[in-house]
Structure formats: structure tokens, C-alpha cells
Amino acid sequence: MPRLIDHLVICVHDLARAEQSLRSLGFTMTPTGLLPFGVSNHLALFENNFLEILAVTDASAVPAARPGHFSFAAHNQNFLASAEGMSMLALHSTAAETDAARFAAHGIGAYAPFSFGRAATLPGGATARLQFSLAFATDPAMPEIAFFTCQQHHAPELFWKPDYQRHPNGALRVVEVVMSAPEPAAHRAFVERLTESTAKLAPGRITVGTAGDRITLLGPREIARRLPGSAMHEIPRFCAARLAVGDLDATRRELQRNGVGFEIIDGALLVPAEASHGLALEFVEQ
């Protein structure tokens, strides 16, 4: 069964500043989450996936990577040494241990699964214990970014709270993650093994998934057309996320009210990367 988008990790230097930025973009943010390996986060929860803004808040607690063990915190710490932006893509999982074994068999992740728990503040002020297991996949051709599957072990109602899923900008869900790559087709085998889907090739691009849940790799010409002014890197990077909204005019009004600049390109409302901590956001009506 194809693996679907679970969440996007957007790595930032200043978590409080980033939370305010995301609120100005019209997102409702969860209270601060403290993870037990030196990082903290806020989430923007949607119908079935979410954005995670994350910062290293206790460098002394960051575990080093070691053979067979991927360090989530160290990866993001290293990412921040050169940039803010989307550092990792998580896909949904119901069996992280199985995912880890399949990644190893496919040659894209010889890492042990990693489990942890943290407290979460609920809308009424109470707290709940959340438990997760992750399985990691990496590609030497994509050294600055990483991928993982995320399995939630707690009751769904402890995490997916309607109060946190309603957003002034009308965001409903992430429907596409966009990556830049000088030669998109060169990464076909990796993304197919990662998602367990068949990629579709076209000049200057490859895509895996469906219109409502897909990953797209674009070459320089396609990036320039879709995301004008975006920097093109020599190695693959995450560069944009597309989000579905119910009423694009309402989204436009919310951004204008908050003084957020944007442009309309091919029916999508585009907020540039510099306004959203290194990850361009495209809002589309669906």
C-alpha cells in the first residue's frame, strides 16, 4: 500500500518567532511540545497530516548519530548550521518496525526504529502522554534532507483535536510536497522505494502519489516556472508545500489582514519561502 504524507518538519532557529510567523500566515498552532532529545516543536494540525516547526532548544541533550542509529535531533541540528527550512518528510505508518526492515531490504535505511514519548497539552489545559515510533530512510544523493515513517501508538483522539485543526486561513491538509533537484529522474528509484509507489516521469519532473497526496521533484526550469525567484540548489532540497483550502478568497483576505505578501500563479496563492522560514507555501482551493 502506498505510503501517505504524515507531516513536514520545518527546522527553525527561533521557535517562538517561527510560531508567531505561522500564526500570521493563518495557522492555529499547538502549545509547545518538548521532545526528550533536545528539540521542541509546535504543530499545525490538519484533517490527516500536519506541519511541524521544530528547533533545537537543548544542544546538550542532542544524541550523536552512530552506526545503525539515525539521530533525528542531530540531523536537524546539522541542517540548521546552513539554513532554515524543511529538513525532513514523514510518511504515515502503522508499523514502524516493519517499515525499518523494508527500508533496509531496499537499501535506503539500515537504521533501527526509534521510539519515544512526550507530553502534549490538550485544548482544555490537561495533558496527555503521546507515544511515537519512527523508521528512517536516507539517500547519499540527498545528504541534507531525510525521510521517515511515523507511527502513533496513543488513542487518535488524544492527538487530532478539532480545536487545533481549525485555521483562520482555511487550511485543510497538505496535498503535495515539492522538491528541487537538478536531475529529477536520477532519484526515481529512491522515491519509489520510499513511498512504495510507481513514479510518473515527465520532462523536468517526476511525481509519486495522487493529486491529493503526492511528492513532486522538479528540475531548474520547472522550479523557475512554478516558484519564481526560488534558489536552485546543486543537491535535492524540499522547497514548497501545497495546501488545500476550502475558500481561496478567505485565505487571501486572512493573509492581507496580517500583512503577508503573496502572488497568484496558475490558480495557487503562493507565499514565498522567505516569509515562511525557508519553505514556500502554495494554497489551492479544493
For 249-268, the pLDDT digits (tens) are 999 999 999 999 999 999 99
For residue 80, which phi and psi values (nearest 5 degrees)?
Answer: -70, -15
The dihedral through the CA atoms of 254, 255, 259, 264 has a sign that is negative
Each as own residue / partner, the long-range contacts of residues 79-83 (CB below 8 Å, 24 or more positions apart, any chain) are 79/11, 79/144, 79/145, 80/11, 80/12, 80/13, 80/55, 80/56, 82/144, 83/278
Q: Is 242 helix (H, G, I), strand (E, B) or coil?
A: strand
Q: Pairing mode, if any, of strands 237-245 and 280-285?
A: parallel
Mean pLDDT, residues 78-104 taken together: 97
Query: What local confidence, expressed as pLDDT, does residue 229 receive?
Result: 85
> What order of strands is seen across the sheet that includes strand 268-271?
200-202, 205-210, 213-218, 171-180, 237-245, 280-285, 268-271, 263-265
Mean pLDDT, residues 145-152 taken together: 98
Mean pLDDT, residues 134-160 taken together: 97
Query: What local confidence, expressed as pLDDT, does residue 211 receive?
Result: 87
Mean pLDDT, residues 87-111 taken together: 98
Domain 5-164 belongs in CATH node 3.10.180.10:
yes
| Confidence at 233, pLDDT banded by 50, 70, 90 | confident
Higher pLDDT, 130 or 211: 130
Do the domains 169-285 and 5-164 match in fold? yes
Mean pLDDT, residues 36-62 taken together: 98
Domain boundaries, the chain: 5-164, 169-285
The three-state (H, E, C) secondary structure of 140-186, written as one string: CCCCCCEEEEEEECCCHHHCCCHHHHCCCCCEEEEEEEEEECCCHHH
Cβ-contact 211, 175 below 8 angstroms: yes
Q: Pairing mode, if any, of strands 39-45 and 237-245?
A: unpaired
| Confidence at 231, pLDDT banded by 50, 70, 90 | confident
| Confidence at 149, pLDDT banded by 50, 70, 90 | very high
Query: What local confidence, expressed as pLDDT, does residue 217 receive?
Result: 98
Percent of the chain whose pLDDT exceeds 70 = 100
CA-nearest of 180, 120, 130, 135 to 155 is 130
Query: What local confidence, expressed as pLDDT, does residue 119 receive?
Result: 95
Total-model pTM: 0.97
Query: What local confidence, expressed as pLDDT, does residue 232 receive?
Result: 79
Query: What local confidence, expressed as pLDDT, does residue 36 receive?
Result: 96
Query: What local confidence, expressed as pLDDT, does residue 27 receive?
Result: 98
CA distance 23 to 37: 26
CATH number of 169-285: 3.10.180.10
Mean pLDDT, residues 157-166 taken together: 97
Percent of the chain whose pLDDT exceeds 90 = 97
CA distance 280 to 272: 5
Task: Reply yes or no on whether the pLDDT at 1 is more than 80.
Answer: no
Cβ-contact 195, 3 below 8 angstroms: yes
Q: Is 193 helix (H, G, I), strand (E, B) or coil?
A: helix
Helices 188-195 and 96-106 pack at an angle, to 10 degrees, of 150
Query: What local confidence, expressed as pLDDT, does residue 72 receive?
Result: 98
Cβ-contact 277, 21 below 8 angstroms: yes
Task: Reply yes or no on whether the pLDDT at 142 is more than 80.
Answer: yes
Cβ-contact 72, 150 below 8 angstroms: no
**Sequence-separated (6 or more) residues with CB below 8 Å from residue 224:** 230, 232
Cβ-contact 27, 44 below 8 angstroms: yes
